[in-house]
Chains A and B, each alone.
Chain A
Amino acid sequence: MTGYVFRRALQAAAVLLAITAAAFGLFYAAPSDPALIACGPKCDTAQVEAVRHSMGLDQPLVTQYTDYLRGLVAGRTIADVDGSSIDCAAPCLGYSYTLHQPVLDAIGDRFPVTLSLAAGALVVIGVLGVGVGFLAALRRGTLTDRLLSGFTLVGASVQIYFLGYALQYLLVYASDLFPLPGYSPLGDGPGAWAAGLLLPWLVLGFVNAAVFARLARAQMLETMHEGYVRTARGKGLGVLRAHLKYTARGAAAPLVQLLGLEAGALFGGAFITETVFGLGGVGKLAVDAVVQNDLPTVVGTVLLAAFFVVVFVAVADLVVAWLDPRVRLA
C-alpha cells in the first residue's frame, strides 16, 4: 500500500506541474497582450509598459514560468506599477491589479464561503445520492424505484441557474418558508450561517446528488447479482446486511471516485451557485476576474481549482485501493 500511495502522489504532482505549465502557456504565452488586458483599456502606453515590466512580461518566457513556479514554492517579490515592490509569500499566485492585492489573499478572503457551501452540499450529495440510489436499487421495478428514478432524472436535467431562482422566488420571496440566502461567517453563530446557506446547499446538493444517485443505483444493480453476494445470501445472511456488507463495498469504487471529483470541483468554487445566490466565494471571484480580464486572478483560480481536483481524485483513488485490494496490483 505504501508503494501505491507513493506512486499515486508522484503522479498527482506530475499532473499538477503540467497544469501550471498549461495554464501559464494558455494565458501568458498566448500571443495576446496580457499587460494590456491586465491594465485595462484606459491605460496609456507608459502604464501598459509599467504593468508589462511588473508582471515580468518583458522577460523571456522560460524565465517568466520559472519565476512563477519559484513564487509558488518559495514566494517572490513583485514590482508594483508605480515601482514599489510587493511582497508575495509562498504559495504566490501573483498580484491582482484589479483588486490591488495578492491573488492568494483575494482567494483566502473568499475561501470560507466556498468551503462552507461545498461542505454542506457534499453532505447532501452523499446522504441523498447514496440513500436514493441504494433504495431504488433494492426496490427495483417497484413504484418506489420508478418515482425515485424519475426524481433523479429531473434533478440530473434541471439547471442550477433555473432551479435556484425558481426556489428563491417560491420559497423565499413569495412564501417566506426559507430564510434569505446569504453568507454570514460561522464565527458569528452557526444558526445564521446554516440558515443563509440552507437553500444553496439543497439546490447544489440536489442537482449533483441526482447524478450520483443514478450511478449508485446502476452500480448496486450490477453488484447485487455477483456470485459473492449470492453466496453470502445463501449462507443465511439477511438481505439488508448482505447488501450493506458486500454489495455496498463492491459497488463503492466508482461512487468514491465520483465523489472525489465532485469534492474537488466544489472546493474550487461553485461558479453558478455562487452567482445565483449572490454568495461572494472563490467561484464568484473567478467569474468576476474573467469578466474584468484580471488575468493573474484567473490563472490563480484555475490553478486552485485544478489543485483541489487532483488532490481529491488522488485521495479517492487511495480510498478505492483500500476498499479493493485488486486495484493496488494494477
Chain B
Amino acid sequence: MAEEHSGRPSGPVSRGPFVTAVRAFRRDRTGMAALAVVLLCAVLALAAPLIAALYGKDATEHYGQNTPGLLSPEGLPVLPGGGISADHWFGIEPGLGRDVLAQLLYGMRTSLLVALASVAVIAVVGIVLGVTVGYLSGIADRAFTFVCNVLLAFPTLLLLLALGPVVETRFVDPGENEPVWMQFTVLILVFAAFGWVPLAMVLRTAVRSLREREFIEAARALGASRRHIVFRELLPNVWAPVLVHITLAVPGIVTAEAALSFLGVGIDEPVPDWGRMISRGSEVFYDDPTYMVFPGVAILVFVLAFNLLGDAVRDALDPRTAR
C-alpha cells in the first residue's frame, strides 16, 4: 500500500488493513453465514444446467401441457400446493406448466448475470470518475457535481422502464424480436448509467480528504505525474468504500431487475426471470398462491444474504468496530 512508504514503522505487531479486516470478518458469524448463502447461490446459478440435468427437468419445457393430468382445464395445477409432486418438487407454472424449480435455478442466472455485470461496469466507471474528480477539483468538480445532481433527480425506475422500448425501436427493426444478448446489454448499460453516481460521490469525498495528506504531497513533490498519483497513490487507499458499495449494490440491482420484469418490461420470454414469475403469479394469486411464494421467498433470501454480507463487510472494514 502506498501509505507504507510514509515512514510508519512496521513491526510484527502491525498488520495490514486487509488482514485485519479479514480476521474481523471471520469472527462475524452472521457475515460468514451470509457469505455461505451467497456462495451457494452463485454455485447453484453456475451449475444450473448440471442440476437441471440431474433433476431431469428443463426450464422451458411445458410439462403441464404435454403431460395430461397435471393442469386443470383452467390451466391451474391439479395437485395441491401448486402441483408439488415427486416429479416437480416446487410445483409447476399455471398455464404453461413449466417446472418451477428449474425456472428458479435459471432465473437466478438471469438475476446474477445482470447484477454482476452491472456492478462491474459501475465499479470501473465510479472509481475512475470519483477518484479523478476528487483529486482534480475546480471546474471538473463543479461539472461532476452538477451531472450527479441531475442523474440523482431522475426517477431511476421510471427511466429504466421507459428507456428499454426506446432503445429497442432504435436498434431493432419492427416485427423482429430483440435478441437476448441485446436485452441483457441494454439492461446492464442502463443500470450502470445511473448506478455509478453514489459510488463516485463517496469516492470523491474520500479522495478530497486524502489528497491533502503527506504521502500525496510527497509524491507531488517528487514530481509524480497526475496519473501516477491517481492510480498508484489514491486508488489503493479507497478500496474499502468500493468493496462495501459494490456488495450492497448487487441486491439493489437484483431487485430493480425483478421489479422491471414485474412491471412488464424486462428480459423477455423464454429466458426464466424471477420478476416475471412473480408477475405471472400475481395474476393467479388467489387460486394458486404457491407459484408466487417460491420466487418471492427466493428473492427475499438472496437479497437478505447480500445485505447481511454488505453489513458484515462494512463492519469488518470500519476501524471503529473492527477491533
Contact = CB atoms under 8 A, between A and B. Distances in A.
B296 A19 contact: no
A37 interface: yes
Given A18-B146, A27-B162, A275 B153 contact: no
A158 B153 CA distance: 24
Interface string B152-188: 1111011101110110011000100000000000000
A168 B292 CA distance: 13
B146 A14 contact: yes
A271 B174 CA distance: 28
B166 A30 contact: yes
A282 B123 CA distance: 34
Contacts of B259: 159, 161, 272
Interface of B is mostly: helix
Interface in A257-277: 264-265, 268-269, 271-272, 275-276
B66 interface: no
Interface in A150-180: 153-154, 156-159, 161-162, 165-166, 168-169, 173
Given A165-B282, A309-B153, A159 B299 contact: yes
Interface stretch (B42-50, B82-90, B95-103, B261-269): B261-269
Interface residues of B, number: 45
A161 B293 CA distance: 11
Interface in A300-328: 301-302, 305-306, 309-310, 313
B166 A32 contact: yes
B255 interface: yes
A169 B289 contact: yes
A191 interface: no
A327 to B, nearest CB: 15
A18 B300 contact: no
A282 B275 CA distance: 22
A265 B159 CA distance: 13
Interface in B269-309: 275, 278-279, 281-282, 285-286, 289, 292-293, 296-297, 299-300, 303-304, 307-308
B161 A290 contact: yes
B122 to A, nearest CB: 19
A166 B262 CA distance: 15
Contacts of B282: 161, 165, 276
A33 interface: yes
A56 B251 CA distance: 42
Contacts of A147: none
Interface centre among A15, A168, A169 (most CB of B within 10 A): A15
Nearest to B155: A305
A19 B264 contact: no
A275 B263 CA distance: 8
B150 interface: yes
Contacts of B174: 41
B149 interface: yes
B258 interface: yes
A199 interface: no
Contact of B158 (A14, A162, A169, A271): A271
Contact of A26 (B163, B251, B307, B308): B163
A277 B258 CA distance: 18
B264 A302 contact: no
Given A290-B265, A301-B158, A302-B159, A27 B150 contact: no
A158 B258 CA distance: 12
Nearest to A33: B169
A276 B321 CA distance: 40
A78 interface: no
A243 B299 CA distance: 38
A172 to B, nearest CB: 10
5 contacts: A158-B303, A161-B275, A291-B265, A302-B155, A309-B152
Interface of B: 146, 149-150, 152-155, 157-159, 161-163, 165-166, 169-170, 174, 251, 255, 258-259, 262-265, 275, 278-279, 281-282, 285-286, 289, 292-293, 296-297, 299-300, 303-304, 307-308, 311
Interface of A: 11, 14-16, 18-19, 22, 26-27, 30-33, 36-37, 41, 153-154, 156-159, 161-162, 165-166, 168-169, 173, 264-265, 268-269, 271-272, 275-276, 286-287, 290-291, 293, 298, 301-302, 305-306, 309-310, 313
Given A159-B278, A271-B157, 12 more contacts: A18-B146, A153-B307, A157-B307, A158-B303, A161-B262, A161-B275, A165-B296, A169-B289, A272-B157, A290-B165, A290-B263, A302-B159
